[in-house]
Structure 1
Amino acid sequence: MQKYIILIVSAIVVWFLFFKEGEVSIGPGVYAIDAPEQKTKSTAKTFQVNGYTLTEMASFKLKAKVLSKKNYSLGRETDLSPVDLALGWGRMSDESVINNITFSQSNRWYYWRTDAYPIPRREIETSSANMHMIPANEFVEDALKSVKKGDIIQLVGSLVNVEANDGWRWRSSVTRTDTGGGSCELIWVENLSIVTP
């Protein structure tokens, strides 16, 4: 009997170490005070990535808390973006607030729900977003793989629109106040660092 218990405990430990994404907790407090910063490009720069044409719409940088992370391996979008991060700033970076909200992601969408609003609904909507990450290089891609739910990250890049020769398009939101379809940011990430205290 003791042998089976040891085997079960070992299996659980292995699962947590190798298969579970992991999660970071840093306690209460606002760790990402400001909303993302963006500046519209006066001249839109266009470049090619993996057979797609990317057009920079605005420079973009932020410091935010990772509310949820989702890796993708299916769908045309994965040619460019293997990871979506649901990110929060302002009071949506405070664990005393977000611990009262459940977050999830699927099909490139970000969902949240709560039984009792810890802050106003509109503040939740405008202080968090689902962001599709397009790594500009292997260092950014490696950093994205290392990000865990609960981390504080900083990133610098551009909001981009994507087009393919066959007419397929993928557009970025360029405002923090939209919700629903088309409200996700599509980011060409040039630099990403984990700055969790």
Structure 2
Amino acid sequence: MKALQRGLAMAFLLCSCVAIYLSLRDVPLPDASLIDETIKASEPVQAASDRPVFTTIIKGYTYTLTPRAVYDISGLVVSQHRGDALVNIGHKADPGNIKDVCVVWGEAITNGSYRKMKYVSGEFTCSFSWSGGLTPPFNLEKISNNHLIPADATVARRIRNIRIGDQVRMQGLLVDYAVTENGRAIFTRRTSLTRSDTGNGACEILYVTEVSVVRAGSHFEADAATYAWYTSLGLLVAVGAVWVARPPVL
């Protein structure tokens, strides 16, 4: 029994180290040859919207959404951030924005520069960088970070299922929005309406009415860290169970 407990403890430590490594490493992006032609050739389509201001209540918060444009974007997901994750306490007052999805398309893919970049998503941000000279150059107008507000539960489920490496198409409305609770103003956000801006305010806020995966990436690679953490948790429980079940030493 003692040998079993020791073996499980060693396995737990090893698996935890693997989980930490997988959490910190970049998820490999698919080769350009695996990217759908619609992602390589398409550009975001934006047109004027005549939809009036509308409101919706999400988890007790009232969202007042002002449509600015109809929007249709396809791209390769290079980074993402779960707004509704349990550990994301700071996002509590904005439950409608369930995920940020950072995508690239067009020239950034066809010239291969997208695979030479490092992408990091945070709270309402997508940062990217590269080391040394980048040849061919990365076109900064072929990447966008999208704050996603789903129109219904089905769309929300599809958004949550998106993984890094997926090739997706998202359709809906670019919106400004204000959030209130019991009549008290919480905050407002404004969407970008161009792909050429950078920095604070450069993200698109998309009220998503349709979302689809054009071609799925390797979900095993994207979720490897999650699998490793769950395995580590299972091993920790097993270590505890064996410790409790050990016969008393007389």
| Same fold at TM > 0.5 | yes
> CA 1:54–1:144 in 2, change beyond 3 Å: closer, same or farther?
same
- The alpha carbon displacement at 1:8 in A equals 4.5
5 Å-filtered alignment, 1:171-186, equals 171-186=190-205
Paired residue type of 2:11: L
The aligned residue for residue 71 of structure 1 is 82
Paired residue type of 1:142: R
> CA 1:8–1:167 in 2, change beyond 3 Å: closer, same or farther?
closer
- The alpha carbon displacement at 1:79 in A equals 2.1
The aligned residue for residue 38 of structure 1 is 46
Between the aligned partners of 2:63 and 2:113, the Cα distance in structure 1 is 39
Q: Identity, % of aligned pairs?
A: 21
Between the aligned partners of 1:77 and 1:184, the Cα distance in structure 2 is 19
Q: Which moved more, 1:72-81 or 1:104-113?
A: 72-81
- The alpha carbon displacement at 1:59 in A equals 0.5
> CA 1:180–1:9 in 2, change beyond 3 Å: closer, same or farther?
same
The aligned residue for residue 100 of structure 1 is 116
- Structure 2: 5+ residue runs without aligned partners? 217-250
Paired residues, number: 192
TM-score normalised per structure 1: 0.83
Query: How well do the aligned residues superpose, as a CA RMSD in angstroms?
Result: 3.1
- The alpha carbon displacement at 1:66 in A equals 0.2
- The alpha carbon displacement at 1:106 in A equals 1.4
5 Å-filtered alignment, 1:32-181, equals 32=39, 33-41=41-49, 43-50=50-57, 51-72=62-83, 73=88, 74-75=90-91, 78-93=94-109, 96-115=112-131, 116-121=133-138, 123=139, 125-165=140-180, 166=185, 168-181=187-200
- The alpha carbon displacement at 1:145 in A equals 1.3
Is 1:65–1:88's contact at 8 Å kept on the other side of the alignment?
yes
Q: Which moved more, 1:100-109 or 1:28-37?
A: 28-37
SS of 1:120 mapped into structure 2:
coil
> CA 1:144–1:167 in 2, change beyond 3 Å: closer, same or farther?
closer
- Structure 1: 5+ residue runs without aligned partners? none
